[in-house]
Structures are given as C-alpha cells and as structure tokens.
Amino acid sequence: MPGAKTFYITTPIYYVNDKPHIGHAYTTLACDVVARFMRLDGRDVMFLTGTDEHGQKVEKSAQAAGMDPQQFCDQVSENFRDLSPLMNYSNDAFIRTTEARHDRASQAIWQAMADNGDIYLDKYAGWYSVRDEAYYAEEELVEGPDGEKQSAFGSPVEWVEEPSYFFRLSQWQDRLLAYYDEEPGRVLPPSRRNEVVSFVKGGLRDLSISRTSFKWGVPVPGDPDHIMYVWVDALTNYLTAVGYPDTDDPAYQKYWPADVHMVGKDILRFHGVYWPAFLMSAGVAPPRRIFAHGWWTVEGQKMSKSLGNFIPPQQIVEKYGVDQARYFMMRELPFGNDGNFSHEAMVNRINSDLANDFGNLAQRVLSMINRNCDGAVPEAGPLDPADQELLTLAHGLLPRMREAMAEQAIHRALEQLWEVVGAANRYVDAQAPWALRKTDPARMATVLYGLAETIRHLAVLAQPVVPEAAGRMLDQLAIPAEARDFSHLGADGALAAGAVLPKPEGVFPRYVEDEAAAAS
Ligand code: MSP
C-alpha cells in the first residue's frame, strides 16, 4: 500500500505452557479488532503475537513432562498458534522466543544497555515468584490463606539469594516521567497512567536482570553462567520481530517504535516502566503507547486452578459461534475495565444486539427488497428530511468510530455503530415501507434504498469485530471484495441502483437454549 501510514500492534507473548483460556483470547482479540480496523482504514499494519518460552517455570514443566525443554515448547506453543484460526485472528506474525534470531536480539539489547553503563554485577537477595516470573519487595506481598506470603495476584513466592546482574532502573525516574508526559495517551486508560506515574514517582530500585540457578534462557553476553531474567528476553520479542538489531531492516524502519503494546493490567509495570527504560538505555525509541485492559471473572469468580473455572476459547466458540464470542467480549464492558463472563450476559447480547437489532434490520430490509424490488438495489427518488437524517448518520459513522478506535475505546466504537442500528430500526418502523408498496411504490424504493445504503455502512464498519457475519451481509448487498474497505464509505461510494442481489438469509441466529440440556 504505497504511502500508507503504518501501524504496529502487539499482544503480550503468552507463557507457552499455560492452557489458553478466554483471558488470553481477550488480549489478542482486542489487538485483532484494532488491527483489522486500521487495515480497512488504509494503514499498513503489523500485528504480532507469540509465545514466551524461557524461564524457570518452563524448565520445570518440561522436566515434569519428561521432555527436553525445546521439544516441550515446540509441542505446547501450538496451543496458542491454534487460537488464530479458532478466533479468526489476523495476526501478521507469530514469534517464539526460542528462535535463534531472538537470542541475537536479546543479547544485542543487553549489550547496548551495558555499553551505556546501566548494568552491574551484584547479588540478589529477595522474594521471587516463579509463576509470575517476578521479583517482589517485602511490602508488596500479602498473606495467603495459610498465612504464607504471596503476591497480590495470589502466586507463591520464594526467598532467593544468588549472584545477579542489575539494571540501573533507579537512574531512569526523571526520563520515564518525561516520557509519560510527552504524549497524553502514552499509557491508557488514564487510571493506569496514574498508577504507573505514581509508582515511578515513589522511587525506583535497581532491577535484578539475571539468574544463575537454572539454564533455560538466553545467556548473558560474556558471562554464560548467567541467564537473562526472562522478562528482559520476553519484552525484546517486540524488537526481534521487526529485525532488531538490524536497524536497517525494512520492517524495523517501517514499524518501530510500536504504536500500541496491548497488555493486561497485571503486566503493566513490565511494559510501562521497565521496557521503556531498557529501550531508552539501549538507545532505541520507546513505544508510542501501552494500553492495559482489565480482567475477566467467570460467573462472578476469579479464574483459578483451584476452582477449575478456566474457560477454553474453543468452548465458547463451539457453543455460541466465533463472531458472537468476539462481539460479546468487545461489547460487554468498557475496554480497560474488569468484567464478568456469564452465560446469561452472552445470550442477552446475542439475542438482543445481534439477532434482534442488527440481524433483524438487515434481514427485514433485504427480504423486502427481494420481494418488492425484483431482487435488485432500488432507485432512490427525492429525499425527505428523515431519509437525509439517516444517511447523514450512516455517512458520519466512520469519523466517530475512528475517534474511539484511536484510543482503543473499542466498546465506544461499537456503541456508535449500534446507535445507527437503532436509528435505522426506528426509521423502518416509522416509514413502514411494507405499507408503501401499494400506496406509493416510488417512496418505498427511496426508503429501501436509504436502508440498504445504511446497512452497507454498518456491515463494512462491523467487519473488524464480526468479520464473518459482516462479510456475509456484504455478499448479500453484492459489494465486491475490493469495495469493502473504509475508502468506499460515504456518499461517493454509494450503492449502485439496479445491482442484482442474491437471496437474503439471516446472519445472526438467535441463541436457543438446548431444551433437553436445560431440563436435565
Ligand atoms: N508471558 C507474559 C507476557 C510477556 S510479554 C513480553 C504473560 N503471559 S500470560 O500468558 O500470563 O498472560 C498474557 C495475557 O493474558 C496478559 O495480558 C494477561 O493480562 C492476560 N490475561 C490472563 N488472564 C486474564 C483474565 N482473567 N482476564 C483478562 N486477561 C487476562 O504475562
């Protein structure tokens, strides 16, 4: 796409030996929706996801499975790769931190930080959580159910004492604060920005960045007894994927610095504090934005091993449909907040927003055109103020959604879309085109034309969230594949009267409880 502006968005790389659940699926889904929106809006997009494969946790799991760690990672990373076809993600790349090119990038960034005088050898004595792969200060720990110390995320911690290289994080306080101030949307949502700023203002301790008690990781350049702290290597994946340390690499030139690192709130500190400090130290531009989203609970409860309530993404896709699952997760809560996943809420969204509101609108209008206009796009006559109003709303939808998507307020973009769905439904009821058939067929044609044109806008703009269903709607409006991006929106690209339409069919079925299962 010559001259297109670029857009680089990343998900966190997933701990390779975790079993994918809806929390994982959520981060990638949000990136997918933003990436699809940007592509349709003419940007040259790089959307990256992948797996985080080093560290003590993986080494232990491989041992427990009686496997060589690499072989183990090769096997389990497929669980995350398989999410893309399942959830209909459009990622451009999938990175694994056990790729050889990644060792090179991680060692290069380490060396650059060392050359800048930010790394020194000392000894670490403190708390470490293998599950979170994180160091915790005494005052950050809480008391667990049996009085034992644990992290605020409920992970066990152990006391660790070993030689370690340190990063001079304490030296980066002012430059980090300046970085947050440089652009208003550096860390979003604003509540998360406040959290990061106050953490940094509170004073920063130097960070332990190497371990000697295990082997599964990237060796420290010049001192292979030390393995890099897994987060140093993990964060570097975002650079590896665009060719670093080859800063002449066309991908690096085009996409770095990343436009958005999308993360969950639990890993904000790594992305919002450590990562920009590492990058600035290494002389690499820090990312433009870090967006931290909230966490899902399931039927009101935290997802946990002990409760066994992790929902595998496959389960919801099989039960509700992929577009339905995607829509629900993006619409149910303001993006950034925590939310609750429940069967009841899912069914409500499917039956009310998708089936009744959007699906029914398209089905009603397309069936009327099929029956009363010889199955072709009707010709519009002079427009009434009500027609004009609806078309103006539809034509103005893209700029409103763009504004919301520029700050990853995906829920707000969807609210805008459904406002037009609602307006179109009210317009159908008020104009009653079925009654005009006998009394004023020319007026009926004008009304149906305006509705078809509105549905075209809605379907084109719904593609990032419900790609399959929106695609089928556009098929039914006979919109060719090359006319489905946002450059065809607005009055200029309007539907051509006379185009023959295929027979309509519903794209958003109602969810009906399986009665036999419900009765048992
Ligand atoms: N490997 C690290 C990331 C390294 S990035 C350089 C990691 N992996 S993870 O698999 O544990 O988490 C990946 C993402 O899933 C995080 O953004 C996390 O917030 C998200 N979620 C995990 N559980 C979640 C919920 N219950 N709800 C929403 N998202 C959650 O951290």
Sequential DSSP letters for 189-201: SHHHHHHHHHHHH
Q: Tokens representing 15?
A: 């701990």
Query: Is residue 498 a part of any domain in this protein?
Result: no
Any atom of ligand 1 within 6 Å of the Cβ of 303: yes
State the residue for tokens 């430059």: 175
CB contact at 8 A, 261 and 287:
yes
**Dist CA 413 CA 339 (whole Å):** 18
- 421-442: per-residue pLDDT in tens? 999 999 999 999 999 999 999 9
For residue 78, the surrounding DSSP H or E stretch is: helix 69-81
Any atom of ligand 1 within 6 Å of the Cβ of 287: no
Largest Cα separation within the chain, whole Å, is 89
Query: Is residue 116 a part of any domain in this protein?
Result: yes
Query: Is residue 83 a part of any domain in this protein?
Result: yes
Give me the number of domains the chain comprises: 2
Q: How would you classify residue 308: left for phi > 0, otherwise alpha for psi between -120 and 50, otherwise beta?
A: left
**Dist CA 202 CA 440 (whole Å):** 72
- 207-265: per-residue pLDDT in tens? 999 999 889 999 999 999 999 999 999 999 999 999 999 999 999 999 999 999 999 99
Q: Are residues 467 and 387 in the same domain?
A: yes
DSSP 335: B
Q: Are residues 219 and 105 in the same domain?
A: yes
Query: Is residue 483 a part of any domain in this protein?
Result: yes
Q: Which pLDDT score, from 0 to 100, does residue 153 have?
A: 77
Distance of CA 414 to the CA centre of its chain: 15
- For ligand 1, the distance from its centroid to the CA atom of residue 86, given in whole angstroms, is 19
Banded pLDDT at 308 (limits 50, 70, 90): confident
Distance of CA 413 to the CA centre of its chain: 14
Q: Are residues 420 and 282 in the same domain?
A: no
Banded pLDDT at 288 (limits 50, 70, 90): very high
**Number of continuous H segments (helices) and E segments (strands) in the chain:** 22, 19
Q: Are residues 364 and 251 in the same domain?
A: no
- Which residue range is the domain that position 349 belongs to? 322-327+342-493
Q: Are residues 191 and 257 in the same domain?
A: yes
CB contact at 8 A, 37 and 484:
no
Mean pLDDT, the chain, rounded, equals 95
Residue of 15, 275, 333 with the most ligand 1 atoms within 8 Å of its CB, for mutation: 15
Residue 405, domain CATH: 1.10.730.10
**What is the mean predicted confidence (pLDDT) over 161-181?**
97
Q: Are residues 348 and 272 in the same domain?
A: no
Any atom of ligand 1 within 6 Å of the Cβ of 13: yes
Q: Which pLDDT score, from 0 to 100, does residue 516 have?
A: 55
- For ligand 1, the distance from its centroid to the CA atom of residue 483, given in whole angstroms, is 37
Query: Is residue 62 a part of any domain in this protein?
Result: yes
- For ligand 1, the distance from its centroid to the CA atom of residue 342, given in whole angstroms, is 20
Banded pLDDT at 57 (limits 50, 70, 90): confident
Q: Are residues 347 and 270 in the same domain?
A: no
Q: Are residues 369 and 222 in the same domain?
A: no
Any atom of ligand 1 within 6 Å of the Cβ of 266: yes
State the residue for tokens 């969230």: 465
Distance of CA 400 to the CA centre of its chain: 20
Write the DSSP string, 44-56: EEEEEEEEE--SH
Q: Are residues 262 and 348 in the same domain?
A: no
Angle at 393 between CA 388 and CA 395, to 5 degrees: 90
Judging by DSSP bridges, how do beta strands 290-293 and 119-129 pair with one another? unpaired
Going by alpha carbons, the residue nearest to atom 19 of ligand 1 is 264
Query: Is residue 376 a part of any domain in this protein?
Result: yes
Query: Is residue 99 a part of any domain in this protein?
Result: yes
Going by alpha carbons, the residue nearest to atom 18 of ligand 1 is 264
**Dist CA 89 CA 84 (whole Å):** 5
Residue 111, domain CATH: 3.40.50.620
Residue 52 CA, closest ligand 1 atom number: 1
Q: Are residues 206 and 68 in the same domain?
A: yes
Q: Are residues 422 and 280 in the same domain?
A: no
Query: Is residue 511 a part of any domain in this protein?
Result: no
Going by alpha carbons, the residue nearest to atom 24 of ligand 1 is 23
Say whether 217 sits in a helix, a strand or coil. coil
Q: Are residues 162 and 253 in the same domain?
A: yes
